[in-house]
Structure 1
Amino acid sequence: MTHRASAEQLDRYRRKGAAAEFLRAHRVPEQLETVLDQVFLQKPADLHGFLAEYFLKLSAPPRISSLRGTQVYDAAGQLSVQAQVFCVICNKEKRMSSAAVPSCWPHQETSVERKMADHVTTAVQWINGPLNHLLQGQNPFDQSEVDQKLRDFFKARYEEEKNLQDMKTRENCSPKELYMELPSPPPTQRKSKTSADRGKQKNLSEKAVPPAEPEEAVLCGSAAIGSLSVAVLKTGAAVKNIPLYRHTAALKNAVLRQTTPGLKPPAHNQNQNQNHVPVQVPVCLVTLLRGGKTSPGRRSLLKEVILIPGVGRRVRQILTMTLELQKEVMRIMNTSTKGGANQTIVCDAGALVVSFDRPEQLLDVITEACANLGLALGTQIHLALNCAAPELMDYSKGKYEVSTGVLKSPDELVDMYHTLLSRYPVVVSLIDPFRREDSDQWEKLNNKMGKSCSLISDLTYKLEAPPPPGARGFILKHTNHTTVSDLIHIASEQQGSVLIGTTCSEPCTDDSWSDIAVGLGLDYVKLGGLSGAETISKYNRLVSIEEELVEQGILAWRLALPDVSPSLASRPAWRLALPDVSPCLASRPAWRLALPSVSPSLTSRPA
C-alpha cells in the first residue's frame, strides 16, 4: 500500500509540475493577476461578463474553417447562389455570415434562363469543393489576400473554359476549313462620275455604325466569387463587432495609404480613430418611373426616370418626398383624359411602369405633380434619365429603335437629346445615352450640353475598359466575379463620380449594399423604387446609418451636389460636421472632394 501511494503521489507531483510549466509558458498567472486587479478596481456589476469579455480579447484570432454554398431564390424568383462562411471562435465553429450577389448577363446574351440553373449549380459546387479547401485557415480580416486567391481561381477556370472551347472548335472544323485560303477580292469596277457622287453623298449622310464590342463572357459559376468576397467582408465586420460600413471604409483607407505617397497610418488605434472620422452618406437617386422595351406603349428609349433630391435633405426626408410625388403622379395618370402616359402598374423594381409614346409625356406629368405639391423643379428636385440605349440598337439597320417603328441614327439621337434637354433643364443627367462604341456621339453631346448635364456610363460589363469620352460618372454593380477589392479599386481610382446600383434580382433581405456604398465613400447610390422588400430594406439601412452618424456627431453635410466641372473642381462640395481628422483627405485629389454635379447652379446657393 505504501508503494502504491508513493507512486500516485509521484504521478500527481509530475502532473502538477507539467501543469505549472504549461500555465507559466502561456503567461496564465500574469493574466489572472492582471484581470483580478482590474475586477477589484472596477467592481463591475456583471462580474462574469467582465471576465468573459477580457479573456475573449486574448483568444486566438478567428480563421475560416469551412464554406457552404446553397441555392436560394432572389427577388425575381430566379435561382441564385448563397455563400456562407464558418469560423472557429473560442474552439467552436460558428456561422459568421452569408451573402448572395445577382448574376447579370450581357444584353446580347440569349437563353439566359436555361443557363441560369447550370450557373448556380456550378457555383455551389465550387464553394463546397475547391474554394472550401482554398480558403480554409484564411484570416477573414485580410480581404485583399482572400480576393486575390478568388481572382486567381477564377482566372484559372476561365483559361480552362477558353481552352476547352477552342478545342471543341478545332474538332468541329475540318482541316480544309481550318486552312482554307481567303478568296481573292473581286476586281474593282469603274463607276461613272454621277453614280460615284451619289454614293459619296449617301455615305456622308449615313456613316457606318461601329460594330459592337464583344461582351465579357459570363463564366458558368462565376457568382461564387462575388458571393464569397462579400461574405468574407461581412465576416470581418462581425468578428470585429463593428458596422459593415466602417469595416469597408477601413479597407479602403488601407488601400489609399498603400497607393498614395505621403499618407501615414493613424497614430492611435485604427478602429478607435475611425470612430471620429466624419462620414458622408451617398445621395439617394430614387427611381420614380420605368419604361423601356419591356413596358407597354410604343416608346422604348427611356428605361428609367430617376429623382435627384436637392441639397441638405436627409434620407428619410427624401423617401417621404418621393412617396408623395409618386402618389401624385399615379393620381394624375389614372385620372388623365389625355392620350399617352395613362397606364401605371408597380413593377418588380419598385417603380411605376408607364405606357407612353413620347418622353415629353413623362416629364410633363412629373412637372404637373411637382406643381401640385409645391415642389420647385431645379432646386428641390432634379431628374436623371436612364436611356439604356445599348439595348435599343438594331444592328441590321445600324440605328437605334427609340420607339416602335421609329429609328434614329447616332447623330440624330444627339439632336434629339439636345432638343429634350433644352426644353426640360430639370434633366441634369443621362445614363447610357449611346453605346460605348459611339464615342463621337458621346463627345458631341458632352460638348453641347456638358455644362448643364452629366453623362454617366454603366461599367457593369466593362470594368477595365476606358470610359467613353465625355462621361463624368460611372455606375457599378456588384455581380458575378466582381470582388470587394475590385469595387475599392474603382472607387479610389476612377476619375469621376461613382454610383453603385442594384439589379432587379437582388436578395430580398440583404441590405449590405447600403453599408458598402457608405464605406466606399461614393457620391450616389441607386437602389430602385420605393416598393418591395429588396429595395425598402436597403433604404431603411441607409436611414439607420445616417441616424447613427448624427447621434455620434460625425455626419458630413453637403453644401452642394458633387461636381467636376472645371470651375468647381478646386472647391470642396461638402462640409464636414466636425473638423477633418483623417490624414488621407487633405492630400486626396480635388475630384474626390468635389465630384460630378447634377446642377452647376446649386453650388452658388447658400447652405
Structure 2
Amino acid sequence: MAANRPLSKSELQQKLRRKAVRFFKAHDVESKLESLLNEMFAAQPSDVYGYMSEYFHSLSLEPVISGIKIREILDTSGDKAVEVDLYCTIDGVSKKVSSWVSSFGGEADVERIISTTEESLSHTLKKIPVKNQKDIDQLLEENVTSDKSLAQAVSYAAATGAAMLSKIPLYRHITIKEEAEALTPLPLLSMLAFGRHSSAKLRFSEFLLSPASTIDVIEQVQKLIVVYKNLWKTFTEKHGPSGVPITSFGAYCPVIDKVDPVLELLQESCREAGLQQDHVNIWINVTADHMFDQDKGKYELCTGVWKATDDLVNIYCDLQQAHPNIKGFINPFHSHDSTAWQKLATRLQDQECLLISGADLTDKLMYPEQLEPGSEQPQELPSVNCASLNVLNTITVSNLHHKTEKLKAVSASHTIMTDLSLIHTHSQAKDLAEMAIGLGYNYIKLGAPRGLHTTTLSTLFNRTSWSCTFQ
C-alpha cells in the first residue's frame, strides 16, 4: 500500500527537478548558458537582451514549414487568383514568412480549391525545411496535380521565404552557378502594339525598345520612359485627350497600317528624347503563328495582304537594313517553317540581329516527348540564337531551374529571354526580376514603363549596387 501512496509536495518538486536536470543536460543548456554569459560579459553589449536573442537564434533549429493559408483575391486584370501565405516555425514559433499570388483566370472554383487543398497540403509540407526547394516541389508535383497555379504559388513562396530567412537576395538564393557574377538582364520595354491588340491593319504584334548594352543603362532607360511619354503626347495631340487605346501591359495601340511609319515614329520619338540610333535597340515581336494560313502557305502581313515566305524574309532584311538598330525578331515565322528561319538567319548573320523563338516553340524543341500524339515535331532550328522561357507558366522553381539548365545544355550559344509582361503584383514583379538575374537570363521582356513594370525596372537597377553587371 505504501508504494501507491501519493507523492508529497516536496517529493513532486524533487521529481520535477530531476526531470529538468535530465532535460537540460540532454540539450547542453548549462554549458551554452555559461558560454553566453562569459561572451556577453566580455562584449558588454548595450542591448543585453538583443545580444541574448541573437545568441539563442544561432542555436535554434532550422526553419521548417508549419502550414499554408490560401485566400481568394482578384489580380490586376480582374481575374480570380489565389494568394498563398507560407508559415514557418522559427525559434519555436509559427510565423508568416512570405506570400505569392497566382492567377487562375476564367471560371475557376477557387473556393473548392481552398476547402479541399489548404489543410491537406499544410499537412503534407509540415516540418519540411523551407530551404529544401527540391523536396517541396516534388511533394507539390505529387500532391497538386490539377491546380497548377496553386502549386506555383506555394513553390515560389517557399523560394522567396527561404531567401528572406537566409538574409540573402533572392537572386543569390536561386542562382544556378554560385561562383558566377550576377548579370542583370537588359529590359525590353513595350511601346506599341498591333495585331489582335489594335484595329490597325498591321498584323505584327508588338514593337519594343531597349538600351544598347554598351552604354549607361540606367540613363538610357530613363530616356526610354521619356520616349513613352512623348508618344502619348503625340497621340493626344493627334486624336484628342483620349489618345489611343492601351493594352493591359501598357503599350499604345495606334491605327498605323504599315511597318515603316511605325519604325519612323519610334526613331523620331527616340531622337526627341535625346537617344541616338546607336544608343537604343528596336525589337519586333511578330508572333507569326497568328499570321500564318496553313491552306495558303502564306503570312498575312496586313489585313488582306498575304506574303510568301521568301517575301517575308526580304521584308525583314529590308527593315533591318533601313534601321540597323533593329536588334531582334521574336517569332518571325511559324514554328514549323524551319526553312524560313534558316534563310533569314543566313541573310542576317553579319548584322548581330537575334532570331528569338517564343516560349511555346522553346518548350517543343526542349521536350519533344511532351507533344500530343499525332502532332508534328518541329525540326531543330539552329538559326534560333535566342530562346524565350515563360517564367509565369512554369509550375515550380525546380522546374524553372531544370528548363533553364536544359536549354543552356542544348546550346551554349543561346541567349535567353523571359517574358514578364503579364505580371500581376508589385511583389511578383520584384521577385521574378530577381529570379531572372539568378538564372542568368540575358533579356527581360516587359510591358510599358509604367505601373508594375517600373517595379521590375527598379529591382534590376537596385541590384546593380550588389555587384551585378548588365549583360
TM-score (norm 2): 0.86
Does residue 388 in structure 1 map to residue 287 in structure 2?
Answer: yes
Matched, 1:402 2:301: yes
Q: Distance in 2 between matches of 1:47 and 1:31?
A: 16
Q: Identify which of 176, 182, 198 aligns with 1:279.
A: 182
Question: Which amino acid in 2 is paired with 1:140?
Answer: V
Q: Deviations over 1:48-79 (max 9, x none)?
A: 01101110121122221212222222221111
Q: State the alpha-carbon separation in 2 of the partners of residues 464 and 137 from structure 1.
A: 37
TM superposition shift of 1:521: 2.1
1:40 and 1:462, CA in 2 relative to 1: closer, same or farther beyond 3 A?
A: same
SS state at 2:196 partner = coil
Partner in structure 2 of residue 140 of structure 1: 130
Residue 404 (structure 2) aligned to one of 488, 491, 509: 491
SS of the aligned residue for 2:78 comes to coil
In the alignment, which residue of structure 2 is the partner of 1:13? Answer: 14
Give the direction of change, closer, same or farther, for the CA distance of 1:221–1:382 in structure 2 (3 Å limit).
same
1:430-469 Cα shifts (integer Å, max 9, x gaps): 1111121111111111111133111011224752534633
**1:23 has 2:13 as partner:** no
For residues 298-377 of structure 1, what are the structure 2 equivalents within 5 Å?
Answer: 298-301=201-204, 303-313=205-215, 316-335=218-237, 344-377=244-277
Name the larger-Rg structure: 1
2:89 aligned residue: 88
The percent identity for this pair of structures is: 25
Q: Give 1:443's aligned amino acid.
A: Q
1:224-257, CA deviations, whole angstroms, 9 ceiling, x for partnerless residues?
Answer: 22222101101211221222222112xx237xxx
Distance 1:57 1:457 in 2: 48
Query: Closer, same or farther in 2 for the Cα pair 1:9/1:122, shift >3 Å?
Result: closer
Q: Secondary structure at the match of 1:471?
A: coil
Q: In 2, are the aligned partners of 1:83 and 1:231 still within 8 Å (CA)?
A: yes
* Contact 1:85–1:232 (8 Å) recurs in 2: yes
In the TM superposition, what whole-angstrom CA distance separates every residue of 1:467-493 from its partner, at most 9, and x where no partner exists? 633111112222345221222223334
C-alpha deviation, 1:314, in angstroms: 5.2
Runs of at least 5 residues in structure 2 that lack an aligned partner in the other structure: 367-379
Matched, 1:149 2:139: yes
Judged with a 3 Å threshold, the aligned counterparts in structure 2 of structure 1 residues 70 and 46 are, in CA distance, closer, same or farther, namely same
AA at the equivalent of 1:535: H
AA paired with 1:321? K
Counterparts of 1:42 and 1:142, CA distance in 2: 35
Call closer, same or farther: CA 1:285–1:503 in 2, change over 3 Å. closer
CA deviations over 1:387-421 (Å, ceiling 9, x no partner):
11112233454432222112223333222222222
* Alpha-carbon distance between aligned partners in 2 of 1:503 and 1:372, rounded to the nearest angstrom: 26
CA distance change for structure 1 residues 26 and 101 in 2, over 3 Å: closer, same or farther? same
**Is contact 2:394-2:400 (8 Å) kept?**
no
Question: Which residue of the partner structure matches residue 579 of structure 1?
Answer: none
Match of 1:518 among 437, 446, 450: 437
Counterpart secondary structure, 1:352:
coil
Output the CA distance in 1 between the equivalents of 2:195 and 2:312.
Answer: 16
Give the 3-state SS of the residue equivalent to 2:391 in structure 1.
coil
Q: Of 156, 171, 194, which aligns to 1:291?
A: 194
Listed as ranges, the matches of 1:360-509 within 5 Å are: 360-377=260-277, 379-452=278-351, 453-460=353-360, 463=363, 465-466=365-366, 468-493=381-406, 494=408, 495=411, 496-504=414-422, 506-509=424-427
Quick check: 1:284–1:315 contact (8 Å CA) kept in 2? no
CA distance in 1 between counterparts of 2:52 and 2:81 reads 43
1:70-119 per-position Cα deviation (integer Å, ceiling 9, x unaligned): 2222221111222221112223221221112345xxxxxxxxx6xx2226
Q: Which residue is equivalent to 2:371?
A: none
Q: CA deviation at 1:124?
A: 4.0
SS in 1 for 2:365: coil
Q: Distance in 2 between matches of 1:507 and 1:41?
A: 48
SS in structure 2 opposite 1:463? helix
- Structure 1 residues 461 and 374 mapped into 2: Cα distance closer, same or farther (>3 Å)? closer
Runs (4+) of structure 1 exceeding 6 A deviation are none
CA spacing shift, 1:79–1:394, aligned 2, 3 Å: farther
Structure 1 residues 83 and 21, CA gap change in structure 2 (3 angstroms): same
Distance 2:16 2:83 in 1: 49
- Following the alignment from structure 1 to structure 2, what is the Cα–Cα distance between the partners of residues 253 and 228? 24
The change in CA–CA distance for 1:522 and 1:395 in structure 2 (over 3 A counts) is same
Indicate conservation of the 8 Å contact 1:392/1:402, yes or no. yes
Task: Give 1:16 deviation, angstroms.
Answer: 1.7
**Kept after mapping to 2: 8 A contact 1:99/1:231:** yes
Alignment of 1:2-81 (within 5 A): 7-81=8-82
Alignment RMSD (CA, Å)? 2.7
Of residues 169, 175, 180, the one that matches 1:243 is 169
Distance 1:102 1:415 in 2: 41
Contact 1:225/1:481 (<8 A) preserved: no
2:362–2:387 Cα contact (<8 Å) kept: no
CA distance in 1, matches of 2:23, 2:458: 52
Q: Residue 136 of structure 1: CA displacement?
A: 2.2
